[in-house]
Amino acid sequence: MAASPKDPQLMRSLLDAGSFLLLAAWLIVKAIYRACLPATYSYRKDISGEVALVTGGGGGLGRLLALRLAKLGAKVVLWDINIKGVEETVGLVKGLGGKAYGFECNLADKDDVYRVAKKTQQEVGNVNILINNAGVVSGQLLLNTPDHLIKRTFDVNVISHFWTVKAFLPKMIEKDHGHIVTIASMAGHIGVTKLVDYCASKYAAVGFDEALKVELEAQGVLGVKTTVICPYFIQQTGMFENVSSKFLPTLKSNDVADRIIEAIQREENLVTIPGIFRGLGILKVIMPWEVISLFIRAILPDAAPHQQMSPIVQIRETEDTLPHKSDSITSAMSQLNHRLLATGKDL
């Protein structure tokens, strides 16, 4: 009996499926092994001497990340439209004995991003660790949100990632060495009322990281890592100070900064803070939508930021619209330093 012409194709498909299952099983076992290792034995890469760029480094989470990176020996580059905040962060880093460079940059302006990126490369060197941290929030019902604020949210929270990555990724690929960190949000996994534009931008940021990761691996670029960070609402960043959250407390910014640095050192792919949210995607698949909606509305009856302090990043519009925040920033840092001295917690 003659063999069917489709038999060789069927055999190749079966072999491919078998190879995939074996490789997948090995990778699962490897991941479980790494997860079970005590923290003292887990791999942590050395970032001393690396050039680490933090967008939105003029305050909030960006400032806390800068201080921790400096303590680990990295050269810190700070971008923000708030140049006074950048200068203060640079001063704090240098006060720790670290190296820091600050640049004024409007992340909503593609040309400005490319201009400052070129200046950074000329004055500091090639960026090895890129942390896309800057973010803004409007916090209104969709139909009450002005069009320019929706555009601003996307420009800063995700579109700017395209420009920063395109500016620095070529050198990372050339050297097969680098790390791109996307500070997203749990709002990139669930929808929340009054945060339609914010959630959409964070969903896009999560997708950006995943697609970029797959694209790099498909090209055989294994030395450039990507990490996406998805925290719950964070205190003291100037975005969600008074968010109404039931059952789950908002996060302390110092704890989030510590976890992000750990994720960078361990080259983790996806980090949810708190970690219990890691299984949220599975629940969304198996639970009826009515249950998911009830859960979201129960824990977050109102996620709108009632009072915004110093935003992580500001958008330059006119000279008169720029707020003067030097007094509030100085006061906030004074309180931060006092708290750290009182608790003895390292930055």
Q: Are the C-beta atoms of 78 and 104 separated by less than 8 Å?
A: no
Looking at the predicted structure, is the pLDDT value of residue 8 above 90?
Answer: no
**Strand spans (E) along the chain:** 51-55, 75-80, 99-104, 129-132, 178-183, 224-231, 270-273
pLDDT digits (tens, 9 = 90+) for 61-78: 999 999 999 999 999 999
CA gyration radius, the chain: 22
Of the candidates 41, 43, 114, 198, the residue annotated as catalytic is 198
Domains and CATH numbers, the chain: 45-343 (3.40.50.720)
198 in catalytic set? yes
User: What is the amino acid identity at position 163?
Assistant: W
* Three-state secondary-structure class, residue 136: coil
Looking at the predicted structure, is the pLDDT value of residue 311 above 80?
Answer: no
Q: Predicted confidence band at 334 (pLDDT cuts at 50, 70, 90)?
A: very low
Q: Are the C-beta atoms of 75 and 318 separated by less than 8 Å?
A: no
pLDDT digits (tens, 9 = 90+) for 264-286: 999 999 999 887 777 777 777 78
* Helices 60-71 and 83-95: angle between axes, nearest 10 degrees: 30
- Taking alpha carbons only, the member of 317, 320, 210 closest to residue 270 is 210
Polymer length of the chain = 347
- Taking alpha carbons only, the member of 296, 307, 292, 298 closest to residue 246 is 298
SS3 content of the chain, % helix, strand, coil (to 5): 55, 10, 35
pLDDT digits (tens, 9 = 90+) for 107-146: 999 999 999 999 999 999 999 999 999 999 988 899 999 9
Per-residue tokens: 78: 């700070």
Cis amide leading into 274 (omega within 30): yes
pTM over 0.85, yes/no: no
pLDDT digits (tens, 9 = 90+) for 253-266: 899 999 999 999 99
Query: What phi and psi values does residue 19 have, to the nearest 5 degrees?
Result: -65, -40
